[in-house]
Amino acid sequence: MTTDSLDQMAKDERLGCLYLTFLNRPSGLSFEQIRSLMPMAYRGEPESARRKFERDKNDLQKLGLWLRHFADGEVLPDGRTATGHVYIPEQGFHWLGDVKLSEKQRNGLANILARSLQRESSESVRNNLTSLYIKLFYNNLPDSEVRETDGLSESEPLESQILSTVQEALLQKKKIQVNYAPASGKVEDRILESRGLLFYRGRWCLVAYCAATKDNRYYYLERMQSVRLLDEAFK
């Protein structure tokens, strides 16, 4: 993966990242927090960037996620006063009907959708396939390569916990200590300053500054064996 390939987030990747993030944060987020979590998605002048987000917000409705906007100074549902622009998921998501699948059916459908995403060149069709996958498998998104599995991954709860910790580190601007297994397979202990999250080809990717290497690098969450939020903050 090159730096240029991640300089801009594709629309379906932005929507996937937003959908998953708001699912895990029913109390909502301010636009500044969204920009902190996804700095490569909404660059530039604040109001111009927010207009781009508003367009994405409208597209999120097609995925069943409705966000209510509160302007600066308005009273939020919990009684607090909004600081800046705040977006909160409306009560009750617009879900598909309950889908009952066996593990074999679930894995089979996941692989069919993943293969279709790899083959499909039409952006509109890819968006529809991505929408379907997110709705059915939002906690089990596909890698860029289809994997054969005998059952549900046991690592999903761990990756969800890691994602939550990484998001908190971004919002609080605190360093994290990570045990990371790169492609070489050798586990590395790293102190990272998070710069932003990407949802790249169905995989969560953290952009972070590494004190040991003194540069910004990309780290796949699925390769993180453990993450610890440190007390030390960074600017």
Cβ contacts of 6 within 8 Å, gap of 6 or more:
40, 198, 200, 205, 207, 218
Read off the pLDDT of residues 52-89 as tens digits, 9 standing for 90 and up: 999 999 988 877 788 999 999 999 988 889 999 999 99
Banded pLDDT at 136 (limits 50, 70, 90): low
Q: What is the pLDDT of residues 160-212, one digit of tens each?
A: 788 888 888 888 889 999 999 987 778 889 999 988 887 766 678 888 888 88
pLDDT tens digits for range 2-32: 444 444 677 877 888 888 788 778 889 999 9
pLDDT at 37: 84
- Eight-state DSSP code of residue 81: B
Cβ-contact 20, 199 below 8 angstroms: yes
- Number of alpha carbons in the 13 Å side-chain half-sphere of residue 207: 22
| Mean pLDDT over the full length of the chain | 77
Do the Cβ atoms of 165 and 148 come closer than 8 Å?
A: no
Q: Is the pLDDT of residue 151 over 50?
A: no
* Whether the Cβ atoms of residue 221 and residue 205 lie closer than 8 Å to each other: yes
Q: Which domains does the chain have, with CATH numbers?
A: 4-89 (1.10.10), 156-233 (2.30.30)
What's the pTM value of the predicted model, to 2 decimals?
A: 0.49
